[in-house]
């Protein structure tokens, strides 16, 4: 398909008559809507003015005691007022959040200084649970005796290795 003079003249006439690009493409045949739009652009044809939207009628204020026509029994002042795009707007009131307190047992007793371990004194049989902030001078590892094949003492194993069902239950309670 090529743009002959006759086809270009017909395109111009249909364009000024207000037909859409799809309608013009259908009239011309053998050409797509996008081809019509491209040719209109290359010819520099003016964009058509859109018909103005009808002016919004001013609404009468409804007395506060009367329900709306939709059957809502709420007074007009209680109707939610929105303005602009609100699809992603955060709610003013947060949803009910359930606070869950972790059920971590406190240490039976603080780790005595004699049992505390540094990175250099850790062995296969010492608890490697870190205590404190590693960037401070008072950081240490638990250092108590650990069971064979486990890196932590009995107390820290209870914290580190929780049953799967407990973790799932806690996760569901948090997301609810």
pLDDT in tens, 80-130: 555 555 556 666 666 666 666 555 555 456 777 777 888 888 888 888 888
Helix (H, G, I), strand (E, B) or coil at 98: coil
**Residue ranges per structural domain of the chain:** 5-43, 101-176
Q: What's residue 134's pLDDT?
A: 86
Q: What is the pTM of this model?
A: 0.34
Q: What's residue 42's pLDDT?
A: 92
143 DSSP assignment? -
- Give the count of alpha carbons within 13 A of 106, CB side only: 2
Q: What's residue 156's pLDDT?
A: 85
126 DSSP assignment? B
Q: Which two tokens stand for residue 56?
A: 């919004």
Q: What's residue 90's pLDDT?
A: 62
Residues 145, 125 contacting (CB under 8 angstroms)? yes
């Amino acid at each position: 398909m090529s743009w002959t003079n006759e086809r270009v003249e017909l395109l111009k006439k249909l364009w000024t008559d207000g037909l859409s690009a799809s309608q013009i493409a259908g009239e011309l045949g053998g050409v797509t809507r996008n081809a019509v739009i491209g040719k209109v652009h290359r010819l520099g044809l003016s964009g058509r003015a859109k018909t103005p939207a009808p002016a919004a009628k001013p609404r009468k204020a409804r007395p506060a005691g009367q329900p709306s026509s939709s059957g809502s029994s709420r007074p007009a002042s209680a109707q939610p007022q929105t303005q602009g795009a609100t699809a992603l707007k955060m709610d003013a009131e947060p949803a009910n959040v359930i606070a869950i307190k972790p059920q971590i047992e406190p240490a039976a007793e603080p780790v005595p200084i004699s049992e505390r371990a540094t990175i250099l004194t850790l062995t296969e049989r010492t608890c490697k649970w870190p205590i404190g902030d590693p960037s401070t001078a008072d950081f240490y590892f638990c250092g108590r005796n650990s069971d064979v094949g486990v890196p932590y003492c009995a107390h820290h194993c209870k914290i580190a290795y929780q049953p799967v069902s407990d973790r799932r239950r806690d996760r569901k309670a948090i997301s609810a």
